[in-house]
Amino acid sequence: MYRYDEFDNRLVTERVEQFRRQAERRLAGELTEDQFKPLRLMNGLYLQLHAYMLRINVPYGALSAQQMRQLAHVARTYDKGYGHFTTRQNIQYNWIQLKDVPDALADLAEVEMHGIQSSGNCIRNTTSDQYAGVAKDELEDPRVYCEIIRQWSTLHPEFSFLPRKFKIAVTGAPNDRAAVKLHDIGLRMHRNEAGEAGFEVIVGGGQGRTPFVGKTIREWLAPENLLSYLEAILRVYNFDGRRDNKYKARIKILVHQVGADEFRRRVDEEWEQIKDSALKLPQEEIERINSYFAPPDYAQLEDNTELLASQRAANGEFDAWVSANVADHKVPGYAIVNISLKSLRLPPGDMTAAQMDAVADLADEYSFGELRVNHRQNLVLADVPQGDLLALWEKLAALDLATPNIGRVSDIIACPGLDYCALANARSIPIAQEINQRYQDMDRVNDIGDVTINISGCMNACGHHHVGHIGILGVDKRGKEFYQFTLGGSSDQNASLGDRTGPGFPGDEAVDAVETILNTYLKIRNEGERFLDTYRRVGMPPFKEALYGAS
Amino acid sequence: MLQMIIANTLADGFVVFLTDDNSWTNDIAAGALAATDEQAEKLLAIAQKAEQSNLVIDPYLIPVELEGDVRKPTEYREYIRATGPTVPIPS
Amino acid sequence: MVLLKNGTVVEDTLADVSAAEQVPENGGILVSVAQWQEHRDALIQRSDPLGIVLRSDEKPELIADDLQYFGVIALDFPAFGDGRAYSSARLLRERFSYPGELRAVGDVLLEQLHFMNRVGFDAFAIKSDDAVRDWEIAAADISVWYQPSSDGRVPATQLRHNKN
């Protein structure tokens, strides 16, 4: 993991003091709300339905055990004892008080965490693959470039007042777990014909009211040119992005309106002027940052031992958990463990302070003291010896963190929705919990297999409903909550936006509709076919007919 | 139509209602009820003064109905603001 | 309204005639791009100080060949959230090597002075009771910078390199 040096530490400490001063001025009435709002937003402080909400960045999802303990401390000390992990690998506190925020930020700065630019019309948290550094299919570790981008984008003086928010994601594997095609800039590491690692640059992806899959404007970019090229894109966006209409201000609208070719031309024209500037990344800088991500001290372990096989054979629940929640690690004898935050008891992505502390201890004991947050609102212990899986599972189960449902029907992404969020039109958490309740039978869950359900409570799509295999959008229809369905979305390297099924369903019929969709899939699927693949093969008609009857 | 003033307190961010004696309460049962448009305008004016004095943020009028003694905002969003999330707080 | 430049309050010697019907023959003035384009020859002949103000939708390329004539270039912020002038300022300094006064006008928040200074602004038209104090706070707020720019501040990457 990256460790702050004196410069990084000084920046966050000064930032805390700056915000403390701004908050005090606001509380004393020296700043109006109009003047204060952009300042608090750029430190991640929103005002929501019930209270202020503080969003803290987890840079590219990387979290240390010590940081997790401090997140628990903040939850206990300044909030109601829990936090919520988001679809951008961040954490949110829903009940924090303005007068406590400077102290909370100071406590977080002690462990190298902050909310800088987690909101506002600036460059947000750069997100990445939760299996970075350990995935079997990985070509290049994206984390080093995420850290380089993080520093370059933090308090960037030229790009702090963009037309709208700006989100960057980086992946280093052919199986894209970071949804790079759905970001303002997506960077996909791969090798060119000469075998050199570089970036495919994808621009203008995004969800919200007008979803788009991003367009490739450059097939291969050398790493040394990463920052200058990003700067060229941002400068073109800063000048040419729309500022007349908040709903048309993202870069995806600009790329769509002028076309990818013209947009590329503008970027290249600007880039020509700056590509040999001080932004050129020296190899030594890349290597210096890369040294922070050196692999841990792996032991020489046997892979897929007989012991593990017998443990799985002896314990059906453990076996189910390994099948669903444990992924292959590139180092023999190790495993990637997904911690499901999708139990029945808590809203998706929520964790109590006690759970956070316990998981921090588990990270220390089983995974070199590190964790990751993924954009599906779950956690990852990336380096667990296979011999420890049984013991770890037992401990996770005791914490209600071992639901064997990763990537399955009850591994639902849900935004906070109308229960918490000032932007929402409908609730999303109760729908997620009802679906979870309906699918408690693990045989059924396993039979259905891979299916992602994403729920958003409004068109801003923080629940990523456009790219769910099944997407659910909550709307307000004459004062009642209705839920519209889309099918066939995907956020991976074959990204697609879901297709609408038809009219929405009232809240008390929404989960029946989910069941109808899944039962239809079970009836018509081919052997071994995932939900998404069945949909792509047969299209909407059978599902439409099942939901609404023959027309 | 009955109306009340709802807002968020500046310092702690929690939801409050304007009371009959020009102060603010977290409890909707203790908030002032306006029965006429004129009363509602008066409440709004008081609330806006409180906003200018940096006590509260974004005060506005919401329609409310009475179910017996219980005040219930007619819009679901405001109802949730008054009563809290519909899902239990994790513990 | 005061004009803050290089940490002190200075007198504004230019009259802003950018919205006026007529451009006066004498006196220091600040003209619009449209006025410059229309009266370029006459304005060049004048001996009194000349400045130009760019709207946020006017890119620096419009005047890039004529920078030598302007003692002051003012960049307007119609709303504090309109951040186009940050890019214009950087280009004027770094690409076109403009050496004169680069002034921020319009909706300029005290909290933005630091970023503005980083991209090349050295003068600010602001509302302030104590501009010098406000400037000192703004300048000292954050003393670590990750990005290279022409403001002379050494970015952290360079400082790290120097240490090793």
CATH number (domain holding residue A352): 3.90.480.20
Average pLDDT, chain C: 94
Distance (Å, rounded) from C-alpha A205 to C-alpha C147? 26
Structure token digits, residue B25:
């309460």
Contact state of B91 with A82 under an 8 Å Cβ cutoff: yes
Cα separation, B21 vs B33, whole angstroms: 12
Residue A181 shares a structural domain with residue A286: yes
Q: What is the pLDDT of residue C164?
A: 72
Give the span between the Cα atoms of C50 and C69, in whole angstroms.
7
pLDDT of chain B along its 91 residues, tens only? Answer: 899 999 999 999 999 999 999 999 999 999 999 999 999 999 999 999 999 999 999 999 999 999 998 999 999 999 999 999 999 999 8
For residue B42, being part of any structural domain is answered with: yes
Q: Name chain B contacts of A47, Cβ cutoff 8 Å.
A: 8, 13, 57-58
Alpha-carbon distance A351 to A447, whole Å? 28
Which domain, by its residues, includes A77? 6-109
pTM: 0.96
Whether A234 maps to a domain, the answer reads yes
Q: Are residues A424 and A511 in the same domain?
A: yes
Residues of chain A with pLDDT below 70 are: 551
| A·B CB contacts under 8 A | 76
Same domain, yes or no: A368 and A443: no
Instruction: Using the Cα atoms of residue A117, residue A429, residue A324 and residue A189 in order, give the sign of their dihedral.
Output: negative
Do A160 and C86 make contact, defined as CB atoms within 8 angstroms? Answer: yes
CA distance A363 to A304: 22
Residue B21: how many other CB atoms lie within 10 Å: 6
The reported pLDDT for the residue numbered A471 is 98
Q: Which chain B residues have any C-beta within 8 angstroms of a chain A C-beta? A: 8, 10-15, 51, 53-54, 57-58, 75-77, 80-81, 84-87, 89-91
CB A457 within 8 A of CB A428: yes
What does the buried/exposed string (b/e) look like for C109-147 if buried means 16 or more CB atoms within 10 Å of the residue's CB? bbbbbbbbbbbbbbbbbbebeebeebbebbeeebebbbb
Q: Is residue A119 part of a domain?
A: no
Q: Is residue A23 in a domain?
A: yes
The CA radius of gyration of chain A, in Å to the nearest whole number, is 23
**pLDDT tens per residue, range C94-123:** 999 999 999 999 999 888 999 999 999 999
Residues C108, C100: Cα–Cα separation, whole Å? 20
Give the count of domains, chain A.
4
Q: What are the phi and psi torsion angles at C32 (to 5°)?
A: -90, 165
According to the model, what pLDDT value does residue C120 have?
A: 95
Q: Looking at the complex, does the CB of residue C115 fall below 8 Å from at least one CB of chain A? A: yes
| In a shared domain, residues A168 and A277 | yes
| Three-state secondary structure call for residue B18 | strand
- Cβ-Cβ pairs closer than 8 A, A with C, add up to 88
Q: Which structural domain range is residue B51 located in?
A: 2-83
* Residue with tokens 């299916």, as numbered in its chain: A451
Task: Choose among C109, C141, C149: nearest Cβ to A157.
Answer: C149
- Same domain as A104, residue A212: no
A393 plus A447 within the same structural domain? no
Both A427 and A362 in one domain: the answer is no
Q: Please give the structure tokens belonging to residue A170.
A: 């980086």
Task: Verify that A140 and A268 share a domain, yes or no.
Answer: yes
Beta strand ranges found along chain C (DSSP E): 2-5, 8-10, 15-16, 29-32, 50-54, 72-77, 101-106, 123-126
Interface test with B, best of A48, A71, A95, A98 (most B CBs within 10 A): A98
Q: What angle do CA A245, A121, A464 make, to 5 degrees?
A: 80
- For residue A384, being part of any structural domain is answered with yes
pLDDT the model gives residue A551 = 60
In a domain, A152, yes or no: yes
Residue ending a domain, choose from A374, A398, A422: A398
| Domain membership flag for residue A122 | no
| Beta-ladder partners of A506 | A482
| CATH number of domain containing A151 | 3.30.413.10
**H or E stretch at A547:** helix A541-548
Structure tokens at A136: 């079997």
> Chain C closest CA to A216's CA: distance in Å?
25
- ∠ CA A227-A232-A234, rounded to 5°: 90
Q: Which of A92, A109, A126 is the last residue of a domain?
A: A109
CB-CB neighbors (< 8 A) of A424 in chain B: 77
CATH number for C2-163 (one of 2.40.50, 1.10.1200, 2.40.30, 3.20.20): it is: 3.20.20
- Suggest the residue from B6, B10, B49 to mutate for an interface test with chain A (most A CBs closer than 10 A): B10
Q: Other CB atoms closer than 10 Å to residue A282's CB: what's the count?
A: 11
At which residue do the structure tokens 């003012």 appear? C74
Domain presence at residue A420: yes
Task: Tell me whether residue B52 is in a domain.
Answer: yes
Q: In this complex, which chains have at least 3 CB pairs below 8 Å with chain B? A: A
B8–A26 C-beta distance less than 8 A: no
Residues A275 and A145 in one domain: yes
Q: B79 vs A341, B9, B22, C113, CA distance in Å? A: 28, 18, 22, 43
Among candidates C82, C137, C144 on the partner chain, residue whose Cβ is nearest the Cβ of A243 = C82
In order, the DSSP letters of A362-406 are: HHHHHSTTEEEE-TTS-EEEEEEEGGGHHHHHHHHHHTT---S-T
First to last CA, chain A: 57
Distance CA(A44)–CA(A118), nearest Å, equals 5
Residue B23 domain flag = yes
Angle at which helices A389-398 and A316-325 pack, to 10 degrees?
Answer: 100
Residue A5 CB coordination number (10 Å): 12
- Tell me what pLDDT residue A418 has: 98
Same domain, A220 and A352: no
Instruction: State the Cα torsion A408-A409-A410-A411 to the nearest 10°.
Output: 50
- ipTM value for the complex: 0.97
Judge whether C156 is closer than 8 Å to chain A, CB to CB. yes
Residue A234, C-beta contacts closer than 8 angstroms, at least 6 positions apart: A123, A158, A159, A162, A166
Is B88 a domain residue? no
Helix (H, G, I), strand (E, B) or coil at A151: helix
Among A248, A286, A259, which residue's Cα sits nearest to residue A163?
A248
> Does B35 map to a domain?
yes
Q: Locate A268 and state its tokens.
A: 């290249």
C-alpha span between A6 and A490 (Å, rounded): 42
Q: Does residue A286 share a domain with residue A176?
A: yes
Element spanning A476, H or E? strand A470-477
Question: How many H helices and E strands in chain A?
Answer: 18, 21
**Residue B90 covered by a domain:** no
Optimal mutation site among B60, B76, B78, interface A, most CBs of chain A within 10 A = B76
B39 within domain boundaries: yes
Pairwise CB contact (< 8 Å): A121 & C81: yes
A114 class by beta-carbon count within 10 Å (0-12 exposed, 13-18 middle, 19+ buried)? buried
User: Does A126 map to a domain?
Assistant: no
Sheet holding C123-126, edge to edge: C8-10, C2-5, C123-126, C101-106, C72-77, C50-54, C29-32, C15-16
pLDDT of residue A511: 97
Q: What residue segments make up the domains of chain C, in order of their start?
A: 2-163
Alpha-carbon dihedral sign for residues A502, A508, A510, A512: negative
- Predicted confidence (pLDDT) at residue C138 exceeds the cutoff of 90: no
User: How far apart (Å, rounded) are the C-alpha atoms in residues B10 and A476?
Assistant: 29
Let me know: does C142 contact A155? Beta carbons within 8 Å.
yes
CB neighbour list of residue B34: distance below 8 Å, 6 or more residues apart? B2, B3, B4, B40, B42, B43, B61
Whether B89 is in a domain gets the answer no
Separation in Å, CA of A531 to nearest CA in chain B: 30
Cα(B18)–Cα(B4) distance, rounded to whole angstroms?
A: 7
